[in-house]
Structure 1
């Protein structure tokens, strides 16, 4: 950026020039409120298939608005989509991730700022003679390297946004899985209570029949053992239901009276057909956020390596404009350039460090692509197996259990079997329904894992250097 010499004739003339220079520097780009939020919303909405609402809790009014919106969503039985929306609105860990993105954006903005000029003023006297020296200095090395720095920081910001978007999508997936587990646990608890009721009825009937001598002690002990096992299963089901609900509460970020929300009685039905997977690996490589973040990191380190190589020998380069005046003598004008001599530090270490970071980023990008292909294949295999198992329970085992129950009821009415055989069949039917619930739960969990495998979960990397670290040698040289 060109610099203007400061006039020496009067102090009043220096003020307008200083104000103009300050205004020019202040005209650099300012960080808008929530700069990265729209881009993250677009990425999340594209991958979730529906618009999402992310709110940054930056004040009491915003928090009150979030609380009202959450209460509206919790008023009805909470389905999976509503649970995801509550988590995106109310999870304070997500707000912390958004705040962390703001830190990165501020660092990128700072790296793109024009270097501040330095002003020097000197006054000396020799007898009646007075001499005034004024100079304006600018870090020319930083100014020349600014285009490379801006490109590298843009890649770093892209990588940071991809990571935060991945964290948002991971929160959505974890919330959906927690919702599935909570609903399945509540449904399992209801069936465990039914088993307990049947076991209690059988044990009471066995006790009465044993009192009148119509039941052996061995048969009575079997029914009592089943009642004890049913009681133990009920305790376990209650504990699993409570733990699953608390995991969902944490995902939703709820507390106090909000934790009394209601859930649907059943999981969604199994889809009629499973998802097909043509080009699944290519889709994952194209849209996974961890792959995108790794690519952006690689590009950022390449730009950084080019910048370090470009100013390897000259890390400090100052341009100064001078104007000296002495009483009774003509004004002297001129310029000066200051640079450091690479006698002891030729920049080889900085180049080696940048080259190593770039090589690290290349390997991490390759590993991200390999892992993406494998993870999506594994997730789809688990998804198809879970769909086949759930369909087998729905179309084969449950109808067979129902048919057996009908036949046993006919035989009981015809006095061909006793009440204990009928109760045993009822217990087996309830156990079959519980197995079908577990299979349906596993399918929806596998569906969530497949969705997550398709979008990825970016991991932090050490390959990106903060602007302050990159500028440290230059600052130390001053």
Structure 2
């Protein structure tokens, strides 16, 4: 039995053609929406830097930017370097930071690329059978990518925000490291000056002991004791000078200086202790509200959740393509139409991919919780360290140093009245000098703790114990 095959009306074919054209036009528009931002996302990092630490940031994209930075650095180095100026130089001149800022451009390029549709495919074929010739032409568009475009756009936008957060975090970490290195280098220079005074006192004592032994007023044991203290003082001075060079070089590296720039001047002494310490009863809440690593962990969890939703949506449609078909031959009428191809989920239903996404999501949630727990602990540790360092530095300033100064004044009076000898006076002078040196180290530790606290409130701090020689205790012990 023959059946007539119904013919498609031209009007209906035209409607479908227009629908297909509209779909392709929408795809083209979506692909064209992904574009570069005017500043590559740098303004967000720049704004964060200004709000958190009050310093300017510049992206060195070319020679003109490098020249501007060089002039600004030279201006700041023309005077004794303050802690704030050191941080500003590091943010402008540190090449490692500038390399990190380039991550914005790299990530933005990847985001823009991910937000654009792949180019459509065109195929053409020619076949011949006897005298019959057939030409096939095809146009293919990835329809699955078109369906997923809104989700992909949101995911890539979050990824770019994460890149901005990482760069901002590196900026703030560099600022904290520079501040700590600055106070460490400044304290090392002060320590060298006081250890030179200790060595001078030990040198005078050893020379006097040598002369007194020559005239018979000193025995060998007494002279050996004074000579031992001189040798110890010389050793401690050598260690202090090495610490001075090492801490200064670390600061130089963070500032990105070289050549004649490394001859910058530092102030004569550390800044004074503030009148009172900071009172932060709600320090944990403040840290959780404004720490960048906590915010980044939340953003990562949101992005993973979005990825999980995308996986569930496309689990049954792995490859979905839309194609236009046009066949023509020299023997028959031109054939027009379209075709859709997709995989049948007979063997792989996507369950493994969904399980993996869910596991990654739970992993991200646990890491976000860990970040919050660590943030609470770190800020508590930083704050208690800050308060302890303040109390210790204040005790040195208000109790130990004034007390040793009064003892020294009394001993001078006793020496003038010939109640004590010169060696007792020199030993007392050594004790006073080493107490001042210990006060310098306590003040240095306070300013380092202040930098740690500032960093703990906005990001993950480096809470390593403050490094410093125990020269005061050794020198004081050698004097007895």
Given that residues 53 and 89 in structure 1 are in contact (C-alpha distance below 8 angstroms), is that contact kept between their aligned partners in structure 2?
Answer: yes
Alignment root-mean-square deviation, CA: 2.5
Return 414-423 or 385-394, whichever deviates more: 414-423
Match of 1:387 in 2: 390
Given that residues 290 and 458 in structure 1 are in contact (C-alpha distance below 8 angstroms), is that contact kept between their aligned partners in structure 2?
Answer: no
Deviation digits for residues 328-379 of structure 1, max 9, x if unmatched? 7554332211111122322122212211211110110000000000110011
Task: Tell me, in whole angstroms, the C-alpha distance in 2 between the residues paired with 1:199 and 1:2.
Answer: 97
Task: Tell me, in whole angstroms, the C-alpha distance in 1 between the residues paired with 2:387 and 2:377.
Answer: 16
Task: Tell me, in whole angstroms, the C-alpha distance in 2 between the residues paired with 1:113 and 1:74.
Answer: 47
Match of 2:430 in 1: 427
The offset of 1:404, in angstroms, is 1.3
- What's the secondary structure of 2:289's corresponding residue? helix
The offset of 1:29, in angstroms, is 2.8
Given that residues 379 and 456 in structure 2 are in contact (C-alpha distance below 8 angstroms), is that contact kept between their aligned partners in structure 1?
Answer: yes
Match of 1:104 in 2: 107
The offset of 1:188, in angstroms, is 0.1
Please state if 1:30 is matched with 2:35. Answer: yes
Return 228-237 or 154-163, whichever deviates more: 154-163
- What's the secondary structure of 2:33's corresponding residue? coil
Instruction: Pick from 168, 192, 195 the counterpart of residue 195 of structure 2.
Output: 192
Given that residues 115 and 143 in structure 1 are in contact (C-alpha distance below 8 angstroms), is that contact kept between their aligned partners in structure 2?
Answer: no
Task: Tell me, in whole angstroms, the C-alpha distance in 2 between the residues paired with 1:131 and 1:423.
Answer: 111
Task: Tell me, in whole angstroms, the C-alpha distance in 1 between the residues paired with 2:125 and 2:29.
Answer: 25
Q: How many residue pairs are counted as aligned between the two chains?
A: 444
Q: Where do 5+ consecutive residues of structure 2 fail to align?
A: 1-17, 463-480
The offset of 1:28, in angstroms, is 3.3
Task: Tell me, in whole angstroms, the C-alpha distance in 2 between the residues paired with 1:21 and 1:284.
Answer: 45
Task: Tell me, in whole angstroms, the C-alpha distance in 1 between the residues paired with 2:436 and 2:285.
Answer: 39
TM-score (norm 1): 0.87
Please state if 1:54 is matched with 2:58. Answer: yes
Return 128-137 or 365-374, whichever deviates more: 128-137
The offset of 1:121, in angstroms, is 2.5
Given that residues 117 and 139 in structure 1 are in contact (C-alpha distance below 8 angstroms), is that contact kept between their aligned partners in structure 2?
Answer: yes
TM-score (norm 2): 0.87
Please state if 1:332 is matched with 2:335. Answer: yes
Match of 1:43 in 2: 48
Q: Where do 5+ consecutive residues of structure 1 fail to align?
A: 6-16, 460-478
The offset of 1:42, in angstroms, is 1.2
Given that residues 160 and 293 in structure 1 are in contact (C-alpha distance below 8 angstroms), is that contact kept between their aligned partners in structure 2?
Answer: no
Match of 1:14 in 2: none
Task: Tell me, in whole angstroms, the C-alpha distance in 1 between the residues paired with 2:369 and 2:129.
Answer: 70
- What's the secondary structure of 2:457's corresponding residue? helix
Return 110-119 or 430-439, whichever deviates more: 110-119
Match of 2:456 in 1: 453
Task: Tell me, in whole angstroms, the C-alpha distance in 2 between the residues paired with 1:30 and 1:39.
Answer: 17
Match of 2:322 in 1: 319
- What's the secondary structure of 1:27's corresponding residue? helix
- What's the secondary structure of 1:138's corresponding residue? strand
Structure 1's 21 and 332: CA in aligned 2 closer, same or farther, altered over 3 A?
Answer: farther
Given that residues 173 and 461 in structure 2 are in contact (C-alpha distance below 8 angstroms), is that contact kept between their aligned partners in structure 1?
Answer: no
